[in-house]
Chains A and B, each alone.
Chain A
Amino acid sequence: MKRFFLAIAIYFLSYNPLYALIEVDITRGNLDPLPIAVSPLHVDIKSVEHEGIKVKELGNNISSIIEKNFKNTGLFNPLKKEAFVQKPDIAHLKPRFEDWRLIKAQALVTGKLLVKDGKLKVEFRLWDLTAAKEMTALAFTTTPSNWRRVAHIISDKIYERLTGEEGYFDTRIIYVSESGPKSERIKKLAIMDQDGANTKYLTLGNELVLTPRFNPTNQMITYLSYFRNMPRVYLLDIETGMQEVVGNFPGMTFAPRFSPDGKKIIMSFAEDGNSDIYTMDLETRLVERITNHSSIDTSPSFSPDGKYIAFNSDRSGLQQLYVMRSDGSNVKRITFGKGIYGTPVWSPRGDLIAFTKMRKGRFYIGVMRTDGSGERLLTENYYQEAPSWSPNGRVLVFYRETKAGSKGEGFTATLWSIDITGYNERKLSTKTDASDPSWSSLLSK
Protein backbone atom coordinates (compact mmCIF):
# COMPACT_ATOMS: atom_id res chain seq x y z
CA MET A 1 0.00 0.00 0.00
CA LYS A 2 1.30 3.42 -0.95
CA ARG A 3 1.85 6.11 1.58
CA PHE A 4 -0.84 8.11 -0.04
CA PHE A 5 -1.69 10.20 2.94
CA LEU A 6 1.45 12.18 2.20
CA ALA A 7 -0.13 13.06 -1.10
CA ILE A 8 -3.26 14.38 0.51
CA ALA A 9 -3.09 18.11 0.84
CA ILE A 10 -5.42 19.49 3.44
CA TYR A 11 -6.60 23.09 3.51
CA PHE A 12 -8.55 24.56 6.35
CA LEU A 13 -11.39 26.62 5.06
CA SER A 14 -12.67 29.47 7.17
CA TYR A 15 -14.56 28.56 10.29
CA ASN A 16 -15.07 30.04 13.68
CA PRO A 17 -14.63 27.61 16.58
CA LEU A 18 -16.47 29.90 18.98
CA TYR A 19 -19.81 28.62 17.78
CA ALA A 20 -19.43 25.07 19.08
CA LEU A 21 -22.89 24.54 20.43
CA ILE A 22 -23.73 20.94 19.66
CA GLU A 23 -21.49 18.31 21.06
CA VAL A 24 -21.65 14.60 21.66
CA ASP A 25 -20.80 13.14 25.06
CA ILE A 26 -19.03 9.86 24.48
CA THR A 27 -17.98 9.23 28.05
CA ARG A 28 -21.17 7.39 28.91
CA GLY A 29 -23.42 5.06 26.98
CA ASN A 30 -25.30 7.06 24.42
CA LEU A 31 -28.94 6.09 24.21
CA ASP A 32 -29.91 9.25 22.36
CA PRO A 33 -27.74 9.36 19.22
CA LEU A 34 -27.35 12.74 17.55
CA PRO A 35 -29.53 13.11 14.46
CA ILE A 36 -27.21 14.08 11.61
CA ALA A 37 -27.94 14.65 7.92
CA VAL A 38 -25.17 13.72 5.49
CA SER A 39 -26.01 15.33 2.17
CA PRO A 40 -24.58 13.56 -0.89
CA LEU A 41 -21.48 15.43 -2.04
CA HIS A 42 -22.16 17.52 -5.12
CA VAL A 43 -20.22 16.25 -8.12
CA ASP A 44 -18.89 19.19 -10.14
CA ILE A 45 -20.09 18.92 -13.75
CA LYS A 46 -16.55 19.63 -14.98
CA SER A 47 -15.56 16.20 -13.56
CA VAL A 48 -14.18 13.63 -16.00
CA GLU A 49 -14.12 9.82 -15.83
CA HIS A 50 -11.11 8.27 -14.18
CA GLU A 51 -9.88 4.65 -14.39
CA GLY A 52 -13.10 2.80 -13.78
CA ILE A 53 -14.24 4.99 -10.89
CA LYS A 54 -17.91 5.85 -11.12
CA VAL A 55 -17.38 9.57 -10.82
CA LYS A 56 -21.08 10.46 -11.08
CA GLU A 57 -21.86 8.24 -8.09
CA LEU A 58 -18.84 9.30 -6.06
CA GLY A 59 -20.75 11.99 -4.13
CA ASN A 60 -23.36 9.46 -3.05
CA ASN A 61 -20.79 6.76 -2.31
CA ILE A 62 -18.64 8.98 -0.12
CA SER A 63 -21.63 10.19 1.87
CA SER A 64 -22.83 6.57 2.31
CA ILE A 65 -19.49 5.59 3.84
CA ILE A 66 -19.61 8.58 6.18
CA GLU A 67 -23.15 7.60 7.21
CA LYS A 68 -22.14 4.00 7.85
CA ASN A 69 -19.16 5.10 9.96
CA PHE A 70 -21.40 7.36 12.04
CA LYS A 71 -24.10 4.72 12.43
CA ASN A 72 -21.49 2.21 13.64
CA THR A 73 -20.32 4.50 16.44
CA GLY A 74 -23.75 4.30 18.05
CA LEU A 75 -23.33 8.01 18.84
CA PHE A 76 -25.00 9.34 15.70
CA ASN A 77 -28.25 8.70 13.92
CA PRO A 78 -27.81 9.47 10.19
CA LEU A 79 -31.16 10.55 8.75
CA LYS A 80 -32.75 9.05 5.64
CA LYS A 81 -31.88 10.92 2.46
CA GLU A 82 -35.45 10.77 1.09
CA ALA A 83 -36.40 13.41 3.64
CA PHE A 84 -33.74 15.88 2.43
CA VAL A 85 -35.24 18.96 0.83
CA GLN A 86 -32.25 20.95 -0.36
CA LYS A 87 -30.11 19.92 -3.30
CA PRO A 88 -26.47 19.11 -2.45
CA ASP A 89 -24.85 21.98 -4.34
CA ILE A 90 -27.13 24.62 -2.87
CA ALA A 91 -26.95 23.17 0.64
CA HIS A 92 -23.17 23.27 0.43
CA LEU A 93 -23.19 26.97 -0.39
CA LYS A 94 -25.65 27.91 2.32
CA PRO A 95 -28.09 25.49 3.94
CA ARG A 96 -31.67 26.62 4.58
CA PHE A 97 -31.38 25.81 8.26
CA GLU A 98 -35.12 25.75 8.91
CA ASP A 99 -35.60 23.04 6.23
CA TRP A 100 -33.04 20.78 7.88
CA ARG A 101 -34.35 21.48 11.37
CA LEU A 102 -37.77 20.42 10.13
CA ILE A 103 -36.52 16.86 9.62
CA LYS A 104 -35.09 17.01 13.15
CA ALA A 105 -31.44 17.09 12.06
CA GLN A 106 -29.07 18.78 14.51
CA ALA A 107 -25.94 18.62 12.36
CA LEU A 108 -25.49 18.65 8.60
CA VAL A 109 -22.59 17.57 6.43
CA THR A 110 -22.33 19.00 2.92
CA GLY A 111 -19.63 18.85 0.32
CA LYS A 112 -18.56 18.90 -3.27
CA LEU A 113 -15.98 17.11 -5.37
CA LEU A 114 -14.20 17.45 -8.67
CA VAL A 115 -12.32 14.73 -10.56
CA LYS A 116 -10.02 16.31 -13.12
CA ASP A 117 -6.45 15.89 -14.41
CA GLY A 118 -6.09 12.63 -12.46
CA LYS A 119 -6.87 14.36 -9.19
CA LEU A 120 -9.77 14.23 -6.79
CA LYS A 121 -10.58 17.51 -5.07
CA VAL A 122 -13.01 17.31 -2.19
CA GLU A 123 -14.30 19.85 0.25
CA PHE A 124 -16.82 19.46 2.99
CA ARG A 125 -18.51 21.55 5.66
CA LEU A 126 -20.11 20.64 8.95
CA TRP A 127 -23.05 22.80 10.00
CA ASP A 128 -24.57 23.28 13.42
CA LEU A 129 -28.27 23.52 12.56
CA THR A 130 -29.39 24.67 15.99
CA ALA A 131 -27.04 27.65 16.01
CA ALA A 132 -27.26 28.05 12.21
CA LYS A 133 -23.47 28.18 11.93
CA GLU A 134 -20.66 26.44 10.13
CA MET A 135 -18.59 24.37 12.59
CA THR A 136 -15.74 23.17 10.45
CA ALA A 137 -14.67 22.90 6.84
CA LEU A 138 -11.83 21.19 5.04
CA ALA A 139 -10.60 20.61 1.50
CA PHE A 140 -8.40 17.79 0.21
CA THR A 141 -6.63 16.92 -2.99
CA THR A 142 -5.62 13.33 -3.62
CA THR A 143 -5.69 10.63 -6.28
CA PRO A 144 -9.21 9.49 -7.22
CA SER A 145 -8.52 5.88 -6.15
CA ASN A 146 -8.26 7.17 -2.56
CA TRP A 147 -11.94 8.08 -2.49
CA ARG A 148 -12.84 5.62 0.29
CA ARG A 149 -10.08 7.04 2.47
CA VAL A 150 -11.37 10.54 1.79
CA ALA A 151 -14.72 9.43 3.23
CA HIS A 152 -12.97 8.06 6.32
CA ILE A 153 -10.87 11.20 6.80
CA ILE A 154 -13.99 13.40 6.55
CA SER A 155 -15.67 11.08 9.10
CA ASP A 156 -12.69 11.49 11.44
CA LYS A 157 -12.74 15.28 11.16
CA ILE A 158 -16.45 15.47 11.92
CA TYR A 159 -16.18 12.97 14.78
CA GLU A 160 -13.32 15.02 16.25
CA ARG A 161 -15.27 18.25 15.95
CA LEU A 162 -18.42 16.84 17.54
CA THR A 163 -16.94 14.66 20.29
CA GLY A 164 -13.67 16.40 21.07
CA GLU A 165 -11.89 13.04 20.63
CA GLU A 166 -9.65 11.80 17.86
CA GLY A 167 -11.49 9.71 15.25
CA TYR A 168 -10.72 6.11 14.29
CA PHE A 169 -12.22 5.66 10.81
CA ASP A 170 -9.12 6.08 8.63
CA THR A 171 -7.65 2.91 10.13
CA ARG A 172 -7.20 -0.73 9.28
CA ILE A 173 -7.58 -3.98 11.16
CA ILE A 174 -5.20 -6.89 10.76
CA TYR A 175 -6.54 -10.29 11.77
CA VAL A 176 -6.25 -14.01 11.18
CA SER A 177 -8.57 -15.28 8.45
CA GLU A 178 -9.80 -18.82 9.21
CA SER A 179 -11.28 -21.49 6.96
CA GLY A 180 -11.72 -25.25 6.88
CA PRO A 181 -12.91 -27.75 9.50
CA LYS A 182 -12.22 -26.98 13.16
CA SER A 183 -9.49 -29.60 13.64
CA GLU A 184 -7.68 -28.58 10.43
CA ARG A 185 -8.09 -24.83 10.28
CA ILE A 186 -6.27 -22.94 7.55
CA LYS A 187 -5.11 -19.59 8.90
CA LYS A 188 -3.88 -16.59 6.91
CA LEU A 189 -2.95 -13.07 7.86
CA ALA A 190 -5.54 -10.69 6.49
CA ILE A 191 -5.95 -6.93 6.53
CA MET A 192 -8.99 -4.78 5.87
CA ASP A 193 -10.19 -1.22 6.31
CA GLN A 194 -11.93 -0.70 9.65
CA ASP A 195 -15.31 -0.83 7.84
CA GLY A 196 -14.56 -4.23 6.26
CA ALA A 197 -13.63 -2.95 2.78
CA ASN A 198 -10.42 -3.76 0.86
CA THR A 199 -9.66 -7.18 2.36
CA LYS A 200 -6.19 -8.45 1.44
CA TYR A 201 -4.45 -11.66 2.42
CA LEU A 202 -0.82 -11.34 3.45
CA THR A 203 0.09 -15.04 3.79
CA LEU A 204 -0.99 -18.04 1.76
CA GLY A 205 -2.10 -20.37 4.55
CA ASN A 206 0.76 -22.86 4.17
CA GLU A 207 1.79 -22.43 7.78
CA LEU A 208 -0.10 -21.64 10.95
CA VAL A 209 -0.06 -17.91 11.80
CA LEU A 210 -1.38 -16.30 14.98
CA THR A 211 -1.69 -13.02 16.91
CA PRO A 212 -0.68 -10.31 14.37
CA ARG A 213 -0.16 -6.86 15.95
CA PHE A 214 0.36 -3.45 14.39
CA ASN A 215 3.33 -1.25 15.07
CA PRO A 216 1.66 1.92 16.45
CA THR A 217 4.04 4.14 14.43
CA ASN A 218 4.20 2.57 10.96
CA GLN A 219 2.93 -0.20 8.68
CA MET A 220 4.87 -3.06 10.28
CA ILE A 221 3.25 -6.13 11.79
CA THR A 222 4.60 -8.59 14.31
CA TYR A 223 3.06 -12.04 14.54
CA LEU A 224 3.65 -15.70 15.36
CA SER A 225 4.32 -18.07 12.47
CA TYR A 226 4.89 -21.84 12.47
CA PHE A 227 7.07 -21.52 9.35
CA ARG A 228 9.11 -24.78 9.02
CA ASN A 229 7.21 -25.96 12.07
CA MET A 230 9.21 -23.67 14.31
CA PRO A 231 6.92 -21.29 16.18
CA ARG A 232 8.72 -17.95 16.16
CA VAL A 233 7.87 -14.26 16.27
CA TYR A 234 8.16 -12.58 12.87
CA LEU A 235 8.17 -9.05 11.52
CA LEU A 236 6.29 -8.20 8.35
CA ASP A 237 6.41 -4.97 6.38
CA ILE A 238 2.96 -4.67 4.79
CA GLU A 239 4.20 -2.25 2.14
CA THR A 240 7.09 -4.36 0.86
CA GLY A 241 5.95 -7.84 1.94
CA MET A 242 9.39 -8.42 3.54
CA GLN A 243 9.39 -10.86 6.44
CA GLU A 244 12.03 -11.71 8.99
CA VAL A 245 12.28 -13.74 12.17
CA VAL A 246 12.76 -11.67 15.33
CA GLY A 247 15.91 -12.61 17.20
CA ASN A 248 17.82 -15.87 17.36
CA PHE A 249 16.05 -17.84 20.06
CA PRO A 250 16.57 -21.58 20.49
CA GLY A 251 12.88 -22.22 21.22
CA MET A 252 9.35 -20.91 20.81
CA THR A 253 8.84 -17.15 20.88
CA PHE A 254 5.25 -15.94 20.99
CA ALA A 255 2.78 -13.29 22.21
CA PRO A 256 4.58 -10.36 20.47
CA ARG A 257 3.68 -6.68 20.67
CA PHE A 258 5.47 -3.48 19.78
CA SER A 259 6.62 -0.90 22.28
CA PRO A 260 4.71 2.40 21.94
CA ASP A 261 7.61 4.01 20.05
CA GLY A 262 7.62 1.06 17.65
CA LYS A 263 11.32 0.40 18.22
CA LYS A 264 11.14 -2.74 20.35
CA ILE A 265 9.22 -5.97 20.31
CA ILE A 266 8.14 -7.47 23.61
CA MET A 267 7.28 -11.17 23.64
CA SER A 268 7.48 -14.47 25.50
CA PHE A 269 10.27 -16.98 25.01
CA ALA A 270 9.74 -20.55 26.19
CA GLU A 271 12.83 -22.35 27.45
CA ASP A 272 12.61 -25.88 28.89
CA GLY A 273 8.85 -25.45 29.22
CA ASN A 274 9.04 -22.15 31.09
CA SER A 275 7.87 -18.93 29.43
CA ASP A 276 9.41 -15.59 30.38
CA ILE A 277 9.17 -12.11 28.90
CA TYR A 278 11.90 -10.59 26.72
CA THR A 279 12.32 -7.49 24.59
CA MET A 280 14.32 -7.06 21.45
CA ASP A 281 15.42 -3.69 20.12
CA LEU A 282 14.78 -3.69 16.37
CA GLU A 283 17.71 -1.38 15.60
CA THR A 284 20.46 -2.67 17.90
CA ARG A 285 19.07 -6.27 18.00
CA LEU A 286 19.78 -6.18 21.72
CA VAL A 287 17.78 -8.79 23.62
CA GLU A 288 16.80 -8.13 27.23
CA ARG A 289 15.24 -10.55 29.64
CA ILE A 290 12.47 -8.81 31.59
CA THR A 291 11.02 -11.58 33.82
CA ASN A 292 12.74 -14.58 35.36
CA HIS A 293 10.22 -16.77 37.12
CA SER A 294 9.39 -20.46 37.08
CA SER A 295 5.77 -19.70 36.19
CA ILE A 296 4.25 -18.85 32.81
CA ASP A 297 4.75 -15.15 32.02
CA THR A 298 3.09 -14.08 28.78
CA SER A 299 0.83 -11.59 26.92
CA PRO A 300 3.00 -8.54 27.72
CA SER A 301 1.73 -5.05 26.81
CA PHE A 302 3.54 -1.73 27.31
CA SER A 303 1.90 1.35 28.80
CA PRO A 304 1.74 4.16 26.19
CA ASP A 305 4.54 6.08 27.96
CA GLY A 306 6.72 2.95 27.78
CA LYS A 307 7.41 3.00 31.53
CA TYR A 308 5.33 -0.01 32.55
CA ILE A 309 4.40 -3.46 31.28
CA ALA A 310 1.17 -5.32 31.99
CA PHE A 311 1.39 -9.11 31.63
CA ASN A 312 -0.26 -12.42 32.36
CA SER A 313 1.28 -14.87 34.84
CA ASP A 314 0.21 -17.96 36.77
CA ARG A 315 2.78 -17.42 39.53
CA SER A 316 -0.05 -17.32 42.07
CA GLY A 317 -1.30 -20.71 40.80
CA LEU A 318 -3.78 -19.51 38.18
CA GLN A 319 -3.70 -16.90 35.41
CA GLN A 320 -3.77 -13.37 36.85
CA LEU A 321 -2.73 -9.92 35.63
CA TYR A 322 0.40 -8.13 36.80
CA VAL A 323 2.05 -4.76 36.20
CA MET A 324 5.80 -4.08 36.48
CA ARG A 325 8.28 -1.37 35.52
CA SER A 326 9.63 -1.79 32.01
CA ASP A 327 12.95 -3.11 33.40
CA GLY A 328 11.10 -5.94 35.15
CA SER A 329 11.28 -4.47 38.65
CA ASN A 330 8.45 -3.76 41.05
CA VAL A 331 6.08 -6.56 39.94
CA LYS A 332 2.56 -6.08 41.31
CA ARG A 333 -0.44 -8.32 40.97
CA ILE A 334 -3.49 -6.24 40.00
CA THR A 335 -6.32 -8.79 39.72
CA PHE A 336 -7.90 -10.32 42.79
CA GLY A 337 -11.50 -10.77 41.61
CA LYS A 338 -13.23 -14.14 41.29
CA GLY A 339 -12.17 -16.01 38.18
CA ILE A 340 -8.99 -16.00 36.12
CA TYR A 341 -7.64 -13.29 33.83
CA GLY A 342 -5.67 -13.10 30.58
CA THR A 343 -4.59 -10.83 27.67
CA PRO A 344 -4.03 -7.48 29.41
CA VAL A 345 -3.81 -4.68 26.83
CA TRP A 346 -2.94 -1.15 27.85
CA SER A 347 -5.21 1.57 26.46
CA PRO A 348 -3.51 4.06 24.10
CA ARG A 349 -4.84 6.77 26.46
CA GLY A 350 -2.99 5.13 29.34
CA ASP A 351 -5.90 5.12 31.76
CA LEU A 352 -7.27 1.58 31.39
CA ILE A 353 -6.24 -2.02 30.81
CA ALA A 354 -8.54 -4.23 28.74
CA PHE A 355 -8.54 -7.95 29.53
CA THR A 356 -10.22 -11.32 29.10
CA LYS A 357 -11.79 -12.85 32.19
CA MET A 358 -12.85 -16.49 32.57
CA ARG A 359 -15.28 -17.51 35.25
CA LYS A 360 -17.58 -20.52 35.65
CA GLY A 361 -17.24 -21.51 32.01
CA ARG A 362 -18.05 -18.02 30.67
CA PHE A 363 -15.72 -15.51 29.00
CA TYR A 364 -15.82 -11.75 29.53
CA ILE A 365 -14.11 -8.77 27.96
CA GLY A 366 -13.61 -5.99 30.46
CA VAL A 367 -11.62 -2.93 31.42
CA MET A 368 -10.02 -1.87 34.70
CA ARG A 369 -7.82 0.95 35.91
CA THR A 370 -4.12 0.24 35.68
CA ASP A 371 -3.91 -0.57 39.41
CA GLY A 372 -6.66 -3.19 38.97
CA SER A 373 -9.41 -1.10 40.57
CA GLY A 374 -12.73 -0.24 38.94
CA GLU A 375 -13.17 -3.51 37.02
CA ARG A 376 -16.04 -3.27 34.52
CA LEU A 377 -17.12 -6.31 32.48
CA LEU A 378 -18.41 -5.13 29.11
CA THR A 379 -19.61 -8.33 27.48
CA GLU A 380 -20.20 -11.98 28.39
CA ASN A 381 -20.15 -14.94 26.00
CA TYR A 382 -19.39 -18.65 25.54
CA TYR A 383 -15.89 -17.82 24.27
CA GLN A 384 -14.26 -14.49 23.50
CA GLU A 385 -10.83 -13.01 24.05
CA ALA A 386 -7.99 -10.88 22.70
CA PRO A 387 -9.25 -7.27 22.95
CA SER A 388 -7.46 -4.65 20.85
CA TRP A 389 -7.98 -0.89 21.28
CA SER A 390 -9.16 1.60 18.70
CA PRO A 391 -6.44 4.26 18.41
CA ASN A 392 -8.52 6.75 20.42
CA GLY A 393 -9.06 4.29 23.27
CA ARG A 394 -12.87 4.36 23.01
CA VAL A 395 -13.67 1.05 21.30
CA LEU A 396 -12.40 -2.51 21.67
CA VAL A 397 -12.32 -5.12 18.93
CA PHE A 398 -12.04 -8.80 19.93
CA TYR A 399 -12.98 -12.25 18.63
CA ARG A 400 -15.61 -14.75 19.59
CA GLU A 401 -15.94 -18.50 19.02
CA THR A 402 -19.14 -20.52 19.17
CA LYS A 403 -19.70 -23.88 20.80
CA ALA A 404 -19.22 -26.75 18.34
CA GLY A 405 -21.12 -30.02 18.02
CA SER A 406 -19.38 -33.37 18.50
CA LYS A 407 -17.96 -33.28 14.93
CA GLY A 408 -16.95 -29.64 15.18
CA GLU A 409 -20.09 -28.51 13.34
CA GLY A 410 -21.54 -25.08 14.14
CA PHE A 411 -18.12 -23.67 14.99
CA THR A 412 -17.54 -20.05 13.96
CA ALA A 413 -14.94 -17.41 14.78
CA THR A 414 -15.97 -13.78 14.28
CA LEU A 415 -14.76 -10.27 15.08
CA TRP A 416 -16.79 -7.98 17.33
CA SER A 417 -16.45 -4.50 18.70
CA ILE A 418 -17.85 -2.79 21.77
CA ASP A 419 -17.57 0.71 23.25
CA ILE A 420 -15.77 0.88 26.57
CA THR A 421 -19.08 2.18 27.92
CA GLY A 422 -20.41 -1.35 27.36
CA TYR A 423 -22.83 -0.11 24.70
CA ASN A 424 -22.93 -0.65 20.94
CA GLU A 425 -21.76 -4.26 20.68
CA ARG A 426 -21.44 -5.01 16.99
CA LYS A 427 -20.25 -7.80 14.70
CA LEU A 428 -17.64 -6.79 12.12
CA SER A 429 -18.18 -8.13 8.65
CA THR A 430 -15.27 -10.22 7.37
CA LYS A 431 -15.06 -12.30 4.21
CA THR A 432 -14.10 -15.44 6.14
CA ASP A 433 -14.13 -16.54 9.76
CA ALA A 434 -11.74 -14.36 11.71
CA SER A 435 -9.79 -14.09 14.98
CA ASP A 436 -6.94 -12.19 16.69
CA PRO A 437 -7.80 -8.65 15.50
CA SER A 438 -5.37 -5.75 15.92
CA TRP A 439 -6.36 -2.17 15.23
CA SER A 440 -3.94 0.19 13.47
CA SER A 441 -3.20 3.78 14.41
CA LEU A 442 -4.76 6.56 12.34
CA LEU A 443 -3.23 6.31 8.86
CA SER A 444 -3.46 10.02 8.15
CA LYS A 445 -1.90 11.19 11.39
Chain B
Amino acid sequence: MILNTNLKNIFLVVFTTLILSACSTAKKSGLDGDVYTGKETVKYLASGVPDRVFFATNKSSLTTASRATLRKQATYLRKNKKLNVTIEGHADERGTREYNLALGERRANAAKDYLMTYGISGKRISTISYGKEKPVNPGSSALAWSQNRRAVTVKVN
Protein backbone atom coordinates (compact mmCIF):
# COMPACT_ATOMS: atom_id res chain seq x y z
CA MET B 1 0.00 0.00 0.00
CA ILE B 2 2.85 2.33 0.90
CA LEU B 3 4.43 1.57 -2.44
CA ASN B 4 1.14 2.30 -4.13
CA THR B 5 0.79 5.73 -2.49
CA ASN B 6 4.34 6.57 -3.46
CA LEU B 7 3.58 5.62 -7.04
CA LYS B 8 0.49 7.78 -6.99
CA ASN B 9 2.54 10.71 -5.76
CA ILE B 10 5.09 10.21 -8.46
CA PHE B 11 2.35 10.09 -11.08
CA LEU B 12 0.85 13.27 -9.69
CA VAL B 13 4.17 15.07 -9.87
CA VAL B 14 4.85 13.81 -13.40
CA PHE B 15 1.35 14.70 -14.47
CA THR B 16 1.56 18.26 -13.10
CA THR B 17 4.95 18.77 -14.77
CA LEU B 18 3.50 17.60 -18.09
CA ILE B 19 0.57 20.03 -17.82
CA LEU B 20 2.86 22.89 -16.89
CA SER B 21 5.29 22.21 -19.71
CA ALA B 22 2.41 21.80 -22.18
CA CYS B 23 1.12 25.22 -21.12
CA SER B 24 4.50 26.85 -21.50
CA THR B 25 5.10 25.39 -25.00
CA ALA B 26 1.68 26.53 -26.15
CA LYS B 27 2.43 30.02 -24.92
CA LYS B 28 5.95 30.09 -26.33
CA SER B 29 5.08 28.54 -29.68
CA GLY B 30 2.34 31.08 -30.36
CA LEU B 31 0.25 28.82 -32.57
CA ASP B 32 -3.44 29.28 -33.24
CA GLY B 33 -4.52 26.05 -34.87
CA ASP B 34 -1.40 25.75 -37.00
CA VAL B 35 -1.08 29.44 -37.87
CA TYR B 36 1.86 31.18 -36.22
CA THR B 37 0.83 34.10 -34.02
CA GLY B 38 4.14 34.82 -32.30
CA LYS B 39 6.69 37.51 -33.11
CA GLU B 40 9.93 35.54 -33.10
CA THR B 41 10.83 35.87 -36.80
CA VAL B 42 8.90 39.05 -37.52
CA LYS B 43 10.67 42.19 -38.71
CA TYR B 44 9.13 45.65 -39.00
CA LEU B 45 8.67 47.98 -41.98
CA ALA B 46 8.31 50.81 -39.45
CA SER B 47 7.54 51.00 -35.78
CA GLY B 48 4.39 48.96 -35.18
CA VAL B 49 4.17 47.73 -38.80
CA PRO B 50 5.01 44.00 -38.95
CA ASP B 51 6.44 42.85 -42.29
CA ARG B 52 4.78 39.45 -42.53
CA VAL B 53 1.61 37.41 -42.22
CA PHE B 54 1.28 33.67 -41.57
CA PHE B 55 -0.88 30.93 -43.07
CA ALA B 56 -2.38 27.57 -42.16
CA THR B 57 -1.07 24.40 -43.86
CA ASN B 58 -2.02 24.30 -47.57
CA LYS B 59 -4.03 27.52 -47.16
CA SER B 60 -3.69 31.01 -48.55
CA SER B 61 -6.65 32.61 -46.75
CA LEU B 62 -5.85 35.56 -44.47
CA THR B 63 -6.60 35.25 -40.76
CA THR B 64 -8.06 38.11 -38.68
CA ALA B 65 -4.58 38.83 -37.31
CA SER B 66 -3.10 38.83 -40.85
CA ARG B 67 -5.70 41.32 -42.04
CA ALA B 68 -4.88 43.61 -39.11
CA THR B 69 -1.18 43.43 -40.02
CA LEU B 70 -1.89 44.18 -43.69
CA ARG B 71 -4.11 47.17 -42.77
CA LYS B 72 -1.15 48.57 -40.83
CA GLN B 73 1.05 47.99 -43.91
CA ALA B 74 -1.53 49.74 -46.09
CA THR B 75 -1.63 52.75 -43.78
CA TYR B 76 2.15 52.89 -43.84
CA LEU B 77 2.26 52.63 -47.65
CA ARG B 78 -0.36 55.35 -48.02
CA LYS B 79 1.84 57.65 -45.94
CA ASN B 80 4.95 56.74 -47.95
CA LYS B 81 3.67 57.22 -51.46
CA LYS B 82 6.98 56.70 -53.24
CA LEU B 83 7.69 53.39 -51.59
CA ASN B 84 7.28 50.20 -53.63
CA VAL B 85 7.26 46.72 -52.16
CA THR B 86 7.69 43.09 -53.15
CA ILE B 87 5.64 40.49 -51.35
CA GLU B 88 7.53 37.21 -51.03
CA GLY B 89 5.32 34.13 -50.66
CA HIS B 90 6.65 31.02 -48.94
CA ALA B 91 5.56 27.51 -48.05
CA ASP B 92 6.73 25.00 -45.47
CA GLU B 93 8.90 22.01 -46.46
CA ARG B 94 6.13 19.43 -46.16
CA GLY B 95 4.86 19.56 -49.71
CA THR B 96 6.05 18.86 -53.23
CA ARG B 97 8.37 21.53 -54.59
CA GLU B 98 6.24 22.53 -57.59
CA TYR B 99 2.95 22.77 -55.71
CA ASN B 100 4.70 24.85 -53.05
CA LEU B 101 5.90 27.30 -55.71
CA ALA B 102 2.29 27.79 -56.77
CA LEU B 103 1.12 28.01 -53.15
CA GLY B 104 3.73 30.67 -52.31
CA GLU B 105 2.55 32.66 -55.32
CA ARG B 106 -1.05 32.39 -54.17
CA ARG B 107 -0.14 33.53 -50.63
CA ALA B 108 1.86 36.53 -51.88
CA ASN B 109 -1.09 37.53 -54.07
CA ALA B 110 -3.59 37.10 -51.22
CA ALA B 111 -1.60 39.71 -49.27
CA LYS B 112 -1.26 41.91 -52.36
CA ASP B 113 -5.00 41.81 -53.08
CA TYR B 114 -5.79 42.81 -49.51
CA LEU B 115 -3.40 45.79 -49.66
CA MET B 116 -5.08 46.81 -52.94
CA THR B 117 -8.54 46.76 -51.33
CA TYR B 118 -7.11 49.29 -48.89
CA GLY B 119 -6.20 51.62 -51.69
CA ILE B 120 -2.62 50.66 -52.52
CA SER B 121 -2.02 50.57 -56.27
CA GLY B 122 -1.13 47.15 -57.65
CA LYS B 123 1.67 48.88 -59.58
CA ARG B 124 3.49 49.49 -56.30
CA ILE B 125 3.38 45.83 -55.31
CA SER B 126 5.24 43.03 -57.06
CA THR B 127 5.10 39.42 -55.92
CA ILE B 128 7.53 36.51 -55.98
CA SER B 129 7.19 32.96 -54.75
CA TYR B 130 10.06 31.02 -53.22
CA GLY B 131 7.99 27.94 -52.44
CA LYS B 132 9.83 25.94 -49.79
CA GLU B 133 13.25 27.21 -50.90
CA LYS B 134 13.90 29.90 -48.28
CA PRO B 135 12.84 28.77 -44.82
CA VAL B 136 13.26 31.42 -42.11
CA ASN B 137 13.42 28.62 -39.55
CA PRO B 138 15.48 25.64 -40.78
CA GLY B 139 14.02 23.22 -38.21
CA SER B 140 11.65 20.34 -38.95
CA SER B 141 8.97 21.01 -36.33
CA ALA B 142 5.39 22.24 -36.35
CA LEU B 143 6.65 25.59 -35.01
CA ALA B 144 9.30 25.96 -37.74
CA TRP B 145 6.80 25.08 -40.46
CA SER B 146 4.27 27.62 -39.11
CA GLN B 147 6.94 30.36 -39.19
CA ASN B 148 7.84 29.41 -42.77
CA ARG B 149 4.26 29.55 -44.14
CA ARG B 150 4.39 33.28 -44.70
CA ALA B 151 4.08 36.27 -47.00
CA VAL B 152 6.71 38.90 -46.31
CA THR B 153 6.45 42.50 -47.51
CA VAL B 154 9.88 43.83 -48.47
CA LYS B 155 10.74 47.43 -49.43
CA VAL B 156 12.34 47.65 -52.86
CA ASN B 157 13.36 51.33 -52.89
Contacts and interface: CB of A to CB of B under 8 A. Distances in A.
Given A183-B135, A273-B109, A383-B93, A229 B128 contact: yes
A248 interface: no
B101 interface: yes
A319 B94 CA distance: 13
B129 A270 contact: yes
B118 interface: no
Select the residue from B96, B109, B140 with max chain A CB neighbours within 10 A: B96
A405 B103 CA distance: 25
Contact of B58 (A208, A318, A403): A318
Contacts of A337: none
A255 B98 contact: yes
B108 to A, nearest CB: 7
A229 B88 CA distance: 11
Interface in A234-258: 252, 254-255
B140 A436 contact: no
Sorting the interface of chain B by its residue count into under 10, 10 to 19, 20 to 34 or 35 or more gives 20 to 34
A29 to B, nearest CB: 27
B153 interface: no
A359 to B, nearest CB: 12
A211 B129 contact: no
Given A296-B99, A319-B99, A252 B138 contact: no
B52 interface: no
Interface in A387-430: 401, 403-408, 411
Given A185-B133, A273-B106, A275-B105, A312 B97 contact: no
B136 A386 contact: no
B102 to A, nearest CB: 4
Contacts of B134: 183
B25 to A, nearest CB: 13
Interface of A: 181-183, 185, 208, 210-211, 224, 229, 231, 252, 254-255, 268, 270, 272-275, 296, 298-299, 312, 314, 318-319, 342-343, 356, 358, 361, 383, 385-386, 401, 403-408, 411, 435-436
Given A210-B97, A296-B99, A361-B94, 15 more contacts: A182-B138, A210-B133, A255-B101, A273-B105, A273-B106, A273-B108, A275-B102, A299-B98, A314-B58, A319-B96, A342-B95, A342-B98, A358-B95, A405-B140, A408-B138
